[in-house]
Structures are given as structure tokens and as C-alpha cells.
Structure 1
Amino acid sequence: MKSKNIKFILIIITILGSIFFRNDLIKGSSINKNEITDQNGILLDIARCPLSKQEIEKVINQINSKKFSYVILHLNDDEHVAFQTKMLKNEDSKNVLSKKDLKEITKDANQHGLTLIPDFDTPGHCKALIKLLKKHSPKLAHKICLNSNTLNYTKSATIKFIKQINGELSNACANQNTRYILLGGDEVAANENNNHALMKYFNELNAFENRHGFRTIVWNDSILKNNNLNNKIVVAYWAQGGGNTSKKILQKEYDNRANVTNLIDHPLINANAGYNYFNLDNLGNLNYITNFINRLNSSAGKNFDLINPQTLTNDPDCYQREIKSSGRLICLWGDKNSKIKINQLLYLIKKINTIQ
């Protein structure tokens, strides 16, 4: 009897071990594959244009999953933090999603054939976050804030703080086969002296997410030509020049900022600002929507928004034949913290579903 019990226990241990091993393989597979770079996605700015859980689910269910494979929820910007986190004590804030909400939205997206990607933009675009931090944790705010809208990415305390927030997000969005999180990097002031520290900031957050089975994404405009960014990090390329139009600034950005060729070893998402960006202030403008769809259809999938060195202007028609990926990210941005009409947004999604 004793021998049989031991044999039974050994069988159970073997079965459990194989299950855990399979789980590790599943996590590893989500890190090694670049699924989203060859597929289309939609970014929804709910930090500046808040939507309820039910409204987000309506949008998700409107998206054609045969043409789009993922949805990015932009949860943090200067105007608002749209995620309820214990680190900011914003449980009583209006228009915030709880971890339970995100879990249910993730489940709904998966059932509709879409991956849900949380986007918590740091270290820039953090004015609303810093206000909350100063209110509830003034000592920590003094320690990790660089200025009124930027966290001090050179401080280990900042990385620890953001890991805790991103850990909450990762946990809420973990129950899916393909797991990504967008770390940010949008419009961060980091000259050559500080850029090494900024890339180190993203590398550490990337390593943290990798350990939890997530791949990471950052925006391109904080990356210089000579950089130390881990080449496993996915780069969402919106514009080499960012939002700048000054020839003097564009000359400087052309000389310093990474172009597409400089990032050839990274998985790349084409988020071409000249074609793929829609300002949600124009939701009720049917002519604007028609022109947006026509422009999307006229753009080649390998056209990127780079700086033209002859004219020193932003050129969204720079064809990059060496890029292997073919997917596009369509970004629905808000410029101010304003409520939008859900029926108008659903109409826009319906039109986006028609792109070639």
C-alpha cells in the first residue's frame, strides 16, 4: 500500500511539472513572436476622451477582427489617468477603469478575436499623474518628479514606482495568449547626455514585463541614432520629427533622432502620423472622416513619417522597402479632456473597417 501511494504521488508530481513547463513555454512563446508587427491595430485615447467600460466594449465589438488584431487603450496622459491604481489612490476619481474592468474588457476583446494592450505612457505626459502623486504622496513626488509633467527616469525609485503600476496593469490584462504593454516614451525631453538613462529606464521596465510574460512597446521619438535600447523592444514609429515644424528643430532631430533604418533590428509598428492619426475632435465632421479614410487607403503600408533632409519638412511618404513588417496602427487621439459621443465613434470605427 505504501509503495502504491509513493507511485501515485510521483505520477501527480510528473503531471504537475509538465503543466508548469507548458505554462512556461506559453509565456516564452508570447515573448519570442512578433505577432502584432504584421497586423493592424487601433489605439483608443481614453485618457483624454474618457469612455465607460460598456462604451469601450461597444467599440471593441464594432471592430472588424478580420482586419484588425489588437486594440491599445491609452490610459495615461497630461489631462487624466484613466486607470484605477493603488499607487495613486485614485479610486474615487471619475472616468477610471478598475482592474476588474480591464480584466473583463480583455476577456471581451479576446472573445471578439482581438488582443487588448494597455498603454500607460511614462515618463512624459504625466501631469495628471504627478498632481495625484503630490496630493497623496508628496514625499515620493518630490523624490521622483523631474518637472510638472515628467517623471525623473534617472531615479531607481521612479522605475520601482512604475513597475508597481505596470504590474497591476499586466495582471489585469494577462489572461490572453498574446501579451503586450506599451510603456510610453512619447515626447520626452532627453538629450544625448540623458538619453542613455532614458533607454536604461525602458530596458529595466522591459525586463520586468518579460519576466511576467509580456513584450513591450515604446514610441520612436525618444530614441536617438546611437542608443542602448534593447532590440527586443517593439518600436511604434509615428514620426521622426514628432510634432515639430520648425526647420531649425527638424535639422537637429534629423541629425540625432533614429530613423527607420537605425531601428531595423527592432520589431517595428507603422504608426505614421501623416496618415494614421485621427483627431477625435473631428468625430462629427463627415468630410474629415471621408478624407481620413481616403488617405489611409492611398498610403502604402511601408510609408513612414521621416524628415526630408532637403526641405527640412515632415514627409509621411518615405517608402522603406527594407522593412519586413506590414501592419499599421491607427491612432484615435484626443487633444483635450472632453466627452465624446459613442455613436459618432462607432460610426468612425465602421468606416475604418472598410480600409483596403
Structure 2
Amino acid sequence: MIQKINGVPGKISQTTAKGAISLQLDRQATDNKIEKNETITITGKSEQAVLQTATYALLREHLGQLNKGETLVQMAQERRIFMLDMGRKFFSKETILSFIDVLSFAQFNFLQLHFSENEGFRIACDTAPEIVSDDFLSKADVIEIIQYAQCCGIEIIPDFDSPGHLKQLLKNRPEWQLEKKNAEGEFEKNPTALDITNPEAVEFILSIYKEYAALFSSSTYFHIGADEFVDFDEMEAYPQLQDYAKEVYGESAEGIDAFVGYVNRIIEAINGFGFIPQVWNDGFFRLNRAEVVKLSEAVEITYWTKWNQHMAPVSTFIDRGYTVINFNDNYFYYVLGEHAGYTYPTYEKIIDSWTPDMWPQEQVVAVDTTQLPGVAVAVWADRPDAQTQEEVLLHVSEIFFAVMQKQMGDVFITKDALTAFLATILK
């Protein structure tokens, strides 16, 4: 990192020897801190915090803003996450490593790799090699990404979405596609939705989770999706789900209960693999559904939207005791091609308008570092050719630094200075 911003190798010491930067781990420390005298000493509460604080020190020193004496490094929330949709659009190993460099300087500590989508599956697969897209990462590539991220104080979150968003996996398995009853009363296949009433289909998906649980075994979290399975306001158009729910959960059950039951089964499996599972919010505790089956408590919620009037507000999940992460689509969804009514977020908009208590659709919730521990920026490649990998990297990097400054409550870098800094580390 020193070489990236200064152009010459630097010296870092983790012992009593003096280097340009000395790194110290103190698990009893109350704060992460920087002390600048003849050299720079970094003290962090964890290995990850040491590395993150060191890159922050390098950034401020490069900008000529690191004062003599002690500087405390404090964030409003513990987790800063970047989610990359590499399912719809292929991102090379080299581009992902460059993202990690930028994330480290911007104090983001998680990179979520959304590697499966309707349009592609981007990591080599032993269980079902035929589902893998032409452009993909080898498992050796992924291991290198994981290890490089660890060196930068960043943890990877694997992200495999089911039971929706599965067109790539189901295109050669039409017998596992869920059937929908159309307006004419005829049944047609939904190419993106798994028939969760089919035991063989469910076991196949579980085998995919198992394979990637092994690959990402060093990760704490595993995102299992569970969004946009079907139009949740049209559950009655899936009589197969209705019948299955009543058979398994009783006569008062409806199609939504079949869905929640499936998600709970995946949650149980992911817990068993040693991860904390995460799901999107849009399908759960909907205001127009009386669920018999309740979402497992052993999961975190990544809250991205309340665009539909029937979606539960953030308060519903908070009141039920869930840990909730803020994926505010109004500010932090970078949707390629500005598809679905989105516009690209900007550095200026976040600096001028967003604060950590702001959630989607103008919901305001006071920051709670325990139950609401994080904020996330997401790239969704809805129109994958709208920008190149390099364009996405450059433009989204600006967003990271805007979020960092608002998390710190200290706006210290101008847009021009940031542009120059990014040109230095991305050259």
C-alpha cells in the first residue's frame, strides 16, 4: 500500500524494530488510533482493525492531513460492505483486487461477491460444471482474492441467491422450474424460480451451497438471497405452492409459508456449515400476508427497499430482534444503465444529503451499533454492457469515500483531491 501511493517501497514493522509504520494489536484498546511522531504507530483492537487503521493513516498522510500526536479512528457503524454483482457482469480477478485496494483505503471491511444470477454463474463449479458461464473465476482465483482481501483487512461474503434469480441454473432443468397459472388459466414455467416443492430440486441447491461453503470457509457471513422469488402479491397464481403449504404446514397455511419454510431450511444448512446467513427483506413479514411459518431468528436482514406498500418497514425487523444491515437503494444502488428507474449515486449526493440514520424510502432510524451494525454500497449489473469494468471501478470508488467520511462525521477530502488519489492507486 505504501508503494501504491508513494511509488517507492515502504517499511512496516510488527516488532520492536522501527519502520515507517509500526503496527500494534491491542485487544483491550477502546479505540483504534494513530500516533504520529518520528514514525507512525498504529494500534487496533483486531487484526482487521490494525490493517484498516494503517490504510487510513496512509491516506491522511498522503493528503498532508495527518497531524502530529494521537488521532482516534472511529466509525458510526462497525461494518462497511460493498456488494458486487459479478453474476450478470463478469469482473476479472484483477479488477476485484483493485476494488479491494480502494475498499481498504475507504475503510470498507467486507466485500460481498454476488456470483450467481439469472444471466450468469461466475465461479467454477464441481457439482454442476454445466451451469458455469463462459467467463468465470477459477477456484484458485477466488482463493487468491480471499487471501489478498485478508491482507487488506477485508472479509469476503459469498452470495448465492435462491430460490429466485436462478435462470442460469435452471435453463437446462425445466422440470425444476416453478409453474405459474396465467390469466387464461394455463400453466407456464417461471424460468427464474425454483420449484421448492420438489425435493430433488431443493437438494441440488443445497449441494451448491455446500460446495461454496467449503470454498469460502474463512468467511463469517453467507448471503442466501431470498428476494424476488416470485411477485409476492401474486402468490395465489402458484397453486402448487398453496397446495404444498397446506399439506406440510396445515390448512391455514398459504403459498408464502412454503417460501418461508424453504428459506428456513437453507438458513439451517448455512448455520450448520458454520456461517451467519443473510437474506434480503422484501419477502418477509409482508403487511398483506398472515404467515403461519415465521422466518428463522438465526439470520440477518439486509434491508434494501420498501418500494412496494406491502413490504415490511425496517421497524418490523428491529422489533423482532433481527440484526439489520442498511442497503439503502435510494443512495447506494449503482445500477448499470440506470435501469428500473435508478440514477447513479454520486459523491456529492451522499456528502450533501445522506446520514447513517437514513434508510430506504425516507425511513429514519437512530443508529444502533449492535442491532444496526452496517451500511452497504451495491453494484447491480442490470445492463452489463452499460459500463466497462474500469468505469464501474472508478465511479463506484468515489461512493466508498463519501460513505467513509459520513460514517466518520468528518468530510476532509475534496472531489478533486479524491480524483487525484484514485488515479494514484488505480494506475
2:355 aligned to which of 282, 297, 300 = 300
1:203 aligned to which of 264, 273, 277 = 264
CA 300–145 in structure 1, closer or farther in 2 if over 3 Å, else same: same
In structure 1, how many angstroms separate the alpha carbons of the residues matched to 2:106 and 2:97? 17
Matched residue, 1:39: 79
Matched residue, 2:294: 228
Matched residue, 1:142: 175
Q: CA deviation at 1:330?
A: 0.4
Q: In 1, are the aligned partners of 2:83 and 2:377 still within 8 Å (CA)?
A: yes
Q: CA deviation at 1:87?
A: 3.4
Counterpart secondary structure, 1:196: helix
CA 72–185 in structure 1, closer or farther in 2 if over 3 Å, else same: same
Matches within 5 A, 1:1-356: 38-64=78-104, 67-90=107-130, 93-131=133-171, 134=172, 138=173, 141-143=174-176, 145-146=178-179, 147-174=190-217, 176=218, 178-189=219-230, 190=232, 191=235, 193-225=254-286, 226=291, 228-241=294-307, 250-251=308-309, 253=310, 257-264=311-318, 265-281=321-337, 292-297=346-351, 298-305=353-360, 316-321=361-366, 324-338=371-385, 340-355=387-402, 356=405
Q: In 1, are the aligned partners of 2:264 and 2:296 still within 8 Å (CA)?
A: yes
Q: In 2, are the aligned partners of 1:219 and 1:235 still within 8 Å (CA)?
A: yes
Structure 2: state its 5+ residue gaps. 1-76, 180-189, 236-252, 406-427
More helix by share: 1
Q: In 2, are the aligned partners of 1:154 and 1:198 still within 8 Å (CA)?
A: no
1:60-89 per-residue CA deviation (whole Å, 9 max, x = no partner) reads: 122135621101111111111212223332
Q: Give the AA of the match of 1:142.
A: E
Q: Give the AA of the match of 2:273.
A: H
Structure number with bigger Rg: 2
Q: CA deviation at 1:349?
A: 4.1
Q: In 1, are the aligned partners of 2:323 and 2:373 still within 8 Å (CA)?
A: no
Q: CA deviation at 1:172?
A: 1.0
In structure 2, how many angstroms separate the alpha carbons of the residues matched to 1:127 and 1:238? 22
Q: Give the AA of the match of 1:279.
A: V
CA 209–326 in structure 1, closer or farther in 2 if over 3 Å, else same: closer
Q: Give the AA of the match of 1:183.
A: I
1:135-183 per-residue CA deviation (whole Å, 9 max, x = no partner) reads: xxx4xx4146442110112333233111111111111111x3x421110
Q: In 2, are the aligned partners of 1:144 and 1:155 still within 8 Å (CA)?
A: no
More strand by share: 2
TM-score, normalisation: structure 1: 0.73
Q: In 2, are the aligned partners of 1:144 and 1:157 still within 8 Å (CA)?
A: no
1:93-152 per-residue CA deviation (whole Å, 9 max, x = no partner) reads: 411223332222111111111111111111111112211xx1xxx4xx414644211011
Q: CA deviation at 1:277?
A: 0.5
Q: In 2, are the aligned partners of 1:280 and 1:332 still within 8 Å (CA)?
A: yes
In structure 2, how many angstroms separate the alpha carbons of the residues matched to 1:76 and 1:148? 15
CA 340–322 in structure 1, closer or farther in 2 if over 3 Å, else same: closer
In structure 1, how many angstroms separate the alpha carbons of the residues matched to 2:386 and 2:94? 15
Q: In 1, are the aligned partners of 2:356 and 2:367 still within 8 Å (CA)?
A: no
In structure 1, how many angstroms separate the alpha carbons of the residues matched to 2:195 and 2:177? 5
TM-score, normalisation: structure 2: 0.61
**Higher RCO, 1 vs 2 (CA within 8 Å, ≥6 residues apart):** 1
Q: Give the AA of the match of 1:49.
A: K
In structure 2, how many angstroms separate the alpha carbons of the residues matched to 1:158 and 1:261? 35
1:39-77 per-residue CA deviation (whole Å, 9 max, x = no partner) reads: 111111111221122221222122135621101111111
CA 162–299 in structure 1, closer or farther in 2 if over 3 Å, else same: same
Q: Give the AA of the match of 2:324.
A: L
Q: What RMSD in Å do the two structures reach over aligned CA positions?
A: 2.4
Q: State the identity %.
A: 25
Q: Give the AA of the match of 2:356.
A: G
In structure 2, how many angstroms separate the alpha carbons of the residues matched to 1:337 and 1:343? 13
Counterpart secondary structure, 1:149: strand
Structure 1: state its 5+ residue gaps. 1-36, 242-249, 283-287, 306-315
Counterpart secondary structure, 1:262: helix
